[in-house]
A and B are shown apart, each in its own frame.
Chain A
Amino acid sequence: MKAAGGIAAIPDAVAFDPLATGGAWRRRRSMAVVYLLLTAFAAYYLLPLGVIVLNSFRDLGEIARGGLIGLPHSFSLDHWAKAWNSFCVNGLCKGVEPFFYNSLKMAIPATIISTAIGAVNGYILSAWRFKGSELLFGFITLGVFLPGQMVLLPWAYTLGLLGLTNTVWGLVLIHCVQGLAFTTLFCRNYYVNIPDALIKAARIDGAGFWRIFRRIVLPLSPPILIVTVIWQFTGIWNEFLFGVVFSSGERQPITAALIALTAGQTNVRQYNVESAAVLIGALPPLLIYLFGGRYFMRGLTQGAIK
């Protein structure tokens, strides 16, 4: 083991160019092939998103005439405004705005609480191991593999018992508990790399359970906490099953409301408004990934504290 020197700085990837064999022409040719292939795949994956984005700006008449796929001849942000706060969903003509806030009210506390509990769990399971703690950890991680459908009935019963049926807090509770397996797994596997000697030194120094956590473990945690927060937030935001089963009407999170929005139409489907609504619903995770993605990848690959 090397000296305890903080989170090890990852050395920059050694400059290695796998295409750098053969002469200049060969190199250029292989470079072109690589870029061509990558561009093709990227286009393929981005196509649906592109179609939706374009449709959100097009007139309904234009979509009806030219089909779902096509470049906009007109450009209008009206459909976005309509989707946001005046389109009728679930018999409530306020657009997706209230549902968007429902999702925020659910995802933010659930993310914070489940991450915090996961961090403390991970800290205990790595720094304060006891007889059977490995087994316990095994049981907690079992939750990672449990399909959501399996827990629907127990949750329905529990929420009823607690009087949290069809409330945002009911969904918060569900996501906290369901997310624990992941957050504990992440944090424990990260904290396991904190040298034992650090904890021992702190104990000899007279620090207790919480002081060690606050002053030694937490300051080492940002990489894994960022990973956990991103994972939890996107997971909870995008979650559909619990949202649609355990809430109804104006209490639904945006994922459930989007389905209601597309299902509740009596006459012509408003593809442009639907597109805008879907994009609004996808925006928060997208933004989080855009701003935090870098840390996410780093946190996942780094892991070790040396």
Chain B
Amino acid sequence: MPSLVIRDLYKRFGNVEVLRNINLEAEAGEFIALVGPSGCGKSTLLAILAGLETVSSGQIEIGGRVVNDVAPKDRDIAMVFQSYALYPTMSVRENITFGMESRHVPKAEQDAAVARVSSLLQIDKLLARRPAQLSGGQRQRVAMGRALVRDPALFLFDEPLSNLDAKLRVEMRTEIKKLHQRVAKTTVYVTHDQVEAMTLAARVAVLHQGVLQQYARPREVYDRPANLFVAGFMGSPSMNFMPAALVDDGGRPAIALEAAGNGRTLLPLPRGIAARGTKVLLGIRPEHLSRPNGDGHGARPGWGTIDAQVEVVEPTGAETMVVLRAGGREFTARLEPDDSPVVGETLRLAVDMNKACLFDPESERLLQ
């Protein structure tokens, strides 16, 4: 039985529709991520799940119970806020027990719960401190402790890592994943960081302008993005898009890049799809471009080549991003550091067309 169901949900602020026809389900114990750029409605959706905002229409079920008109405190949820929202005048212990205090849980039970959670999160030594005396990572742990102590049906995370520095963020990300594997509670995690969404969630819901773009496993969202927006949003550097047309290359289906310069680039098309002559947008991820390794170009099935001029080289250590220009268009390749070219050089790159995505330039949808 799914432990969270969102049905035909709409949310309007005055005349502005911030959420349109959202349908989502989370299985019991599943970790789902709501991801999208700022203003996409993901935080509003989370606030609606928490009961801090009302729905304009639609239905929300938590643990098999419709909670549309249930107060936040009675929804059996716990929430971790972006700012942690620790009560500044209370000690860590009081922060954790405040919910139980409000619910008149006996003192002995409170102490047992604090002991359990604080050892789980390794904050036992911090219990007497005030939030102001904690580091960012410690505050984060306390905020999670406050949520965990409730043992709720549903966990809500609102961009919990965005206030941490980059290194700590990666560490805490792993911790959250570990924690979820241990407690196995249904979790809804809001983030604008697609890496967080990909690494943490069993399923990712991509939101844009209040509309659910795609809801699928991270791998599928990444490899087969439902539309141009998802393709461009997930992955960094972003997927390269090139206008192209489907053509016939000596009896085999192929794709011709629209080039401003001379000559045209033909790439093989492993999956024969639309009719010839159709205009498409070719989407290639930077990592699917590489330097051909000796065995000649296009030798492997489904691979093609493209010639381009090197404009910028950005080494990051583990890999090197190269911005190239071909046919008046810029695109990015993710190369091995050993393959780093020189600026100005004309480079021949192998393109793994097995991984390429084709989009309809009109509807912006993925062509299957």
28 of the cross-chain contacts (CB-CB < 8 Å) are: A1-B83, A3-B84, A4-B88, A4-B131, A5-B88, A5-B131, A6-B89, A6-B132, A9-B132, A195-B83, A197-B81, A198-B87, A200-B81, A200-B85, A202-B87, A202-B98, A204-B50, A204-B51, A204-B72, A204-B73, A204-B79, A205-B102, A206-B99, A206-B103, A215-B90, A215-B98, A216-B87, A305-B88
Interface residues of A in 184-241 (CB under 8 A from B): 195, 197-198, 200-208, 211, 215-216, 219-220
- Find out whether the CB atom of A197 lies under 8 angstroms from the CB atom of B88: no
Residues of B within 8 A of A219 (CB): 89-90
Q: How far is the CA of A200 from the CA of B84 in the complex (A)?
A: 11
Q: Which of A4, A203, A204 is within 8 Å of B84, CB to CB?
A: A4
Residues of B within 8 A of A2 (CB): 83, 163
Interface residues on B, range: 20 to 34
Q: How far is the CA of A204 from the CA of B72 in the complex (A)?
A: 5
Interface residues of B in 44-100 (CB under 8 A from A): 47, 50-52, 71-73, 77-79, 81-90, 98-99
Check A263 for interface membership: any CB of B closer than 8 A.
Answer: no
List chain B positions with a Cβ less than 8 A from chain A.
47, 50-52, 71-73, 77-79, 81-90, 98-99, 102-103, 130-132, 136, 139, 146, 163
List chain A positions with a Cβ less than 8 A from chain B.
1-7, 9, 195, 197-198, 200-208, 211, 215-216, 219-220, 305
Name the CB-closest residue of A to B52: A200
Name the CB-closest residue of A to B105: A206
Q: Which of A3, A4, A200, A211 is within 8 Å of B102, CB to CB?
A: A211
Residues of B within 8 A of A204 (CB): 50-52, 72-73, 77-79, 99
Given contacts A195-B85, A197-B82, A207-B98, contact A3 B50 (CB under 8 A): no
Residues of B within 8 A of A1 (CB): 83
Residues of A within 8 A of B52 (CB): 200, 203-204
Interface centre among A7, A9, A200, A201 (most CB of B within 10 A): A201
Closest 10 CB pairs of A and B: A6-B88, A219-B89, A205-B99, A197-B85, A206-B73, A206-B102, A201-B85, A5-B132, A6-B132, A207-B102
Given contacts A5-B132, A220-B89, contact A205 B98 (CB under 8 A): yes
Residues of A within 8 A of B139 (CB): 3, 5
CB distance from B68 to the nearest CB of A (A): 17
Q: How far is the CA of A205 from the CA of B90 in the complex (A)?
A: 14
CB distance from B64 to the nearest CB of A (A): 20
Residues of A within 8 A of B87 (CB): 4, 198, 201-202, 215-216
Residues of A within 8 A of B78 (CB): 204
Name the CB-closest residue of B to A200: B52
- Find out whether the CB atom of A216 lies under 8 angstroms from the CB atom of B89: yes
Residues of B within 8 A of A215 (CB): 87, 90, 98
Residues of B within 8 A of A201 (CB): 79, 81, 85, 87, 146
CB distance from A143 to the nearest CB of B (A): 31
Name the CB-closest residue of B to A218: B89
Q: How far is the CA of A195 from the CA of B83 in the complex (A)?
A: 9
Residues of A within 8 A of B73 (CB): 203-207
Residues of B within 8 A of A208 (CB): 102
- Find out whether the CB atom of A4 lies under 8 angstroms from the CB atom of B98: no
Q: How far is the CA of A177 from the CA of B12 in the complex (A)?
A: 40
Interface centre among A4, A198, A305 (most CB of B within 10 A): A4
Residues of A within 8 A of B84 (CB): 3-4
Q: How far is the CA of A207 from the CA of B74 in the complex (A)?
A: 11
Residues of A within 8 A of B71 (CB): 203
User: Can you name 10 extra interface pairs (CB under 8 A) apart from A205-B73, A206-B102?
Assistant: A2-B83, A3-B136, A4-B131, A6-B132, A198-B88, A200-B50, A201-B81, A202-B98, A203-B72, A207-B99
Q: How far is the CA of A216 from the CA of B84 in the complex (A)?
A: 15
